[in-house]
C-alpha cells in the first residue's frame, strides 16, 4: 500500500476505468488538532458574514491508497467538511474533479458564482466537489456532472490522484459527452463557455493552473 508523502504532486497516474476505482471506508472519524478546528470555525463564520450559505457537515479524507492491477483503491475516513477551508492545511480532505469535453474536443469551463466558499468568481473546468461519506471518488465524478451541468457523459475515466500544496487531495477524471449533448448550468455558475481543443487557443480568463491541468490530461 502506498504511503502518502507530505509534498504536493501526482500520487498516482491512470488512466483507470471507473469500475476499477474503489474506496474502503473507515468508521473512525478524523480528529484534527484544536487549532485547525478553530480555523474551520472561523472559516464558516466568515462565510456567514458575507451571506454565503454555510453547508458544514461530513466529507472524505484520504488516509492511504493502493495501486491494483489496472485500478486504484483509496482508504477514506470521515472528516469535517469545513476543514478544507483552513488556509494552508486542508487535512487531506478529498475532492473529485471531472474535466469535461464535448464530441469536438472542446473543454467545458464555468465561472463560479461569487457566493461560493472556494474559487468564487474564478473559472474552473468541468464539475467537481467534495467526496461524500460512503461514496467512492469515482461516484463523485458522475454525481457532480449531473448536479452541476444536468448531463450524462458518454465515456468517463479516472486520470490521476493529486495532492495540492495546501494538502487537499483531488481525484481527477476526464469525461467526453455524446455528440449534440447540451449542458444546463446550476446556480453555482454565473457563466459558462466551451474553450477550444488546443489550450494554446484558450482565452485570457484561463489561468495557469487550468492550463497545467489540460496539459496533464493531454500528456
Q: What is the pLDDT of residues 187-198, one digit of tens each?
A: 889 999 999 999
Query: Cα(106)–Cα(175) distance, rounded to whole angstroms?
Result: 11
Secondary structure of 94-119 as H, E, C letters: EEEEEEEECCCCCEEEEEECCCCCCC
Query: Cα(146)–Cα(59) distance, rounded to whole angstroms?
Result: 19
Provide the pLDDT confidence category of residue 48 given band limits of 50, 70 and 90.
confident
CATH number of 9-218: 3.90.79.10
Provide the pLDDT confidence category of residue 2 given band limits of 50, 70 and 90.
very low
Q: What does the domain layout of the chain look like in residue ranges? A: 9-218
Provide the pLDDT confidence category of residue 5 given band limits of 50, 70 and 90.
very low
Span 14-37, average pLDDT: 97
Q: What is the pTM of this model?
A: 0.91
Query: Cα(20)–Cα(88) distance, rounded to whole angstroms?
Result: 32
Which of 116, 115, 168, 177 has its CA nearest to residue 146? Answer: 177
Look at residue 78 and tell me whether its pLDDT is greater than 70: yes
Q: CA-CA-CA-CA torsion for 195, 125, 104, 204, nearest 10 degrees?
A: 10
Amino acid at each position: 500500500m502506498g504511503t502518502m508523502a507530505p509534498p504536493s504532486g501526482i500520487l498516482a497516474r491512470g488512466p483507470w476505468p471507473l469500475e476499477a476505482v474503489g474506496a474502503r471506508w473507515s468508521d473512525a472519524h478524523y480528529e484534527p488538532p484544536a487549532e485547525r478546528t478553530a480555523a474551520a470555525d472561523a472559516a464558516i463564520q466568515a462565510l456567514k458574514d458575507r451571506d454565503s450559505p454555510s453547508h458544514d457537515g461530513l466529507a472524505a479524507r484520504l488516509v492511504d491508497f493502493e495501486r491494483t492491477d489496472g485500478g486504484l483503491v483509496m482508504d477514506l475516513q470521515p472528516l469535517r467538511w469545513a476543514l478544507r477551508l483552513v488556509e494552508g492545511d486542508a487535512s487531506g480532505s478529498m475532492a473529485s474533479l471531472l474535466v469535461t469535453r464535448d464530441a469536438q474536443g472542446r473543454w467545458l469551463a464555468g465561472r463560479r458564482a461569487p457566493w461560493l466558499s472556494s474559487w468564487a468568481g474564478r473559472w474552473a473546468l468541468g464539475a467537481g466537489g467534495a467526496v461524500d461519506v460512503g461514496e467512492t471518488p469515482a461516484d463523485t465524478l458522475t454525481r457532480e456532472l449531473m448536479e452541476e451541468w444536468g448531463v450524462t457523459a458518454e465515456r468517463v475515466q479516472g486520470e490521476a490522484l493529486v495532492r495540492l500544496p495546501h494538502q487537499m487531495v483531488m481525484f481527477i477524471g476526464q469525461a467526453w459527452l455524446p455528440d449534440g449533448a447540451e449542458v444546463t448550468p446550476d446556480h453555482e455558475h454565473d457563466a459558462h463557455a466551451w474553450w477550444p481543443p488546443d489550450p494554446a487557443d484558450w482565452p485570457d480568463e484561463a489561468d495557469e493552473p487550468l492550463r497545467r491541468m489540460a496539459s496533464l490530461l493531454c500528456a
